[in-house]
Chains A and B, each alone.
Chain A
Amino acid sequence: MKVLVPVKRVIDSNVKARVKSDQSGVDLANVKMSINPFCEIAVEEAVRLKEKGVATEVVVVSIGPAQAQETLRQALAMGADRGVLIQSDQDLEPLEVAKVLKAVIAEEAPGVVIMGKQAIDGDNNATGQMLAALLDWPQATFASAIELSADKAKVTREVDGGLQTIEATLPAIITADLRLNEPRYASLPNIMKAKKKPLDVKEVATLGVDLKPHLKVLKVAEPAKRSAGIKVETAGDLVANLKTAGVL
């Protein structure tokens, strides 16, 4: 079974985003960029499925600028077989990303798509669900465990208050949550090997997808800052302060 894993190049999760002074957006110049953490979990899961002999090929696809090739190489170094970059310098909304992925899926015909539940830049948590709706494929979001058979995926999902298990007939869209696995570090030999793995680059325009934006960003502002309070010496002082503050 072929597994398709979409991956996004985002600001590194340890870097604090800074708003541009003209409020036109977040300053990404000279900022460390990485593979989105949930996409990394999705890649890891796909590679493990291949190691178990359930998956036959792991294809990673990214939609973004030329630099997203680095993100794809990162996924290839983890063990994915082949990369596809749909090159676009436009910052696409989740619905448009889902439409582009739908076009890619029409070409690649994967048995299952595993992707991150959320990108840590836009924080939308929407693309997987939109893609499932557009394809009329079943969806299993926020996965913490996946059991794949030839035609079914049994997925344990993180829900409010606990866990839910659902069974989807393949092909299906699965989105990865935090506890699905712990991604490996790519070894140096695998990083070297990844440089030789196939990576196709296509211009987004060649897919014939309508990319008209639906949302106009009027401004991006910094939230109100919270200032540090006081340090207390003892637990007793702490309780006294909380009483004064009226929260006990």
Chain B
Amino acid sequence: MAVLVIADHDNASLKDSTNKTVTAALALSGDVDVLVAGKDAKAAADAAAKIAGVRKVLLAESDELGQGLAEAVEATVLPLMGGYDAVLTPATSQGKNFSPRIAAKLDVAQISEIVEVVSNDTFVRPIYAGNALETVQSSDAKKVITVRATAFKAAGEGGSASVENVAAGAASAKIKFVDQQLVKSARPELAGAKIVVSGGRAMGSAEEFSKVIEPLADKLGAAVGASRAAVDAGYAPNDYQVGQTGKVVAPELYVAIGISGAIQHLAGMKDSKVIVAINKDADAPIFQVADFGLVADYKTAVPELMDALTAAGK
């Protein structure tokens, strides 16, 4: 069987989730191609060609693909599907936007956010906020799959695949890109960061959130995350959200500050290697998953932690 991986990239570079999705694809087949759909995305395609195990890179470019319109990505992928038995996409907000369209047009199920490849047709995926793991067997001839990248190791470099241009599909005239406001941040990206510092509702305001969480994150070289409650209350932007309906992260170190640990938040971070919780409520559920818990008010604990990190040479 042959497998197509749809790359996650920002045109200039490839996101780590692509390498992880290639690992999932290689568990299905030795014939793995990567599609880079974007605009001025040659650099990302060249990076994809260097991933070990990749057979061929397909590059499709247009304005609409650069704008990430789901209709355009679907229209680019569908004509290619004659040559593939499965298409795997990292489960990012972009991947979740277009992948189900491909499944519907092929009249097959989407197997969402797999965390394990059991065999060619059998996969494990979390349901109910990760409180259960479902093993499903697909009877479809072609498989459309999104991949929870944190569950797979990144495929390394060492490949030398060719890059081939393919036609970009057109979006329907019924959809038009207007504009986008992307926040440029010097911090690492949340989904792939080695350390994540997250704040919760206890922060009380957007000002307090940035005053407390950001300096600590910067000291640790960490990405900033937030609980759903903090996002809901407007203390942090939505793309900071860690949890069932936000981002799923699995960093080396996850620091939860003023986060109680609701089911849906735990779903997004419980696979982190080391979890630290700072919360003044000793009964907060977050302590049930934390490796190191500090029962204290963040208002005093975070400055003390900053000092202790300085003393430790950080």
Residues of A within 8 A of B (CB): 11, 13-14, 16-19, 26, 38, 93-95, 98, 117-118, 120-134, 136-142, 144, 154, 158-169, 172, 177-179, 182, 214-223, 226, 228-236, 238-239, 241-243, 245, 247-248
Contacts and interface: CB of A to CB of B under 8 A. Distances in A.
B127 A123 contact: yes
Given A123-B112, A179-B231, A220-B134, A232 B292 contact: yes
Contacts of B74: 133
Interface string B160-199: 0000000000001111111111110000000100010000
A222 to B, nearest CB: 7
Given A95-B108, A223-B132, A229 B101 contact: no
B239 A166 contact: no
Given A138-B71, A162-B239, A165-B180, A11 B305 contact: no
Contacts of B159: none
B209 interface: no
B208 interface: no
B111 A215 contact: yes
Interface of B: 67-71, 74, 92-94, 96-101, 103-105, 107-113, 122, 126-140, 172-183, 191, 195, 220, 228, 231-232, 237-239, 241, 244-245, 252-253, 263-264, 270, 273-276, 287-295, 301, 304-305, 307-309, 311-312, 314
A95 B128 contact: no
B68 A95 contact: no
Contacts of A129: 70, 96-101, 104
Nearest to B138: A215
Given A159-B68, A218-B122, A229 B175 contact: no
29 contacts: A11-B128, A16-B263, A26-B127, A95-B109, A122-B127, A126-B96, A126-B100, A129-B70, A130-B100, A130-B103, A140-B175, A142-B97, A162-B181, A163-B181, A163-B182, A164-B181, A166-B178, A168-B176, A172-B174, A177-B238, A219-B134, A221-B135, A228-B288, A229-B293, A231-B295, A234-B308, A235-B308, A242-B276, A247-B252
Contact of B304 (A16, A117, A231, A235): A235
Pairs A-B, 7 closest by C-beta atoms = A229-B291, A214-B109, A17-B128, A235-B304, A126-B100, A129-B100, A130-B104
B127 A154 contact: no
Contact of A166 (B130, B136, B177, B232): B177
B292 A229 contact: yes
A68 B308 CA distance: 54
Nearest to B190: A160
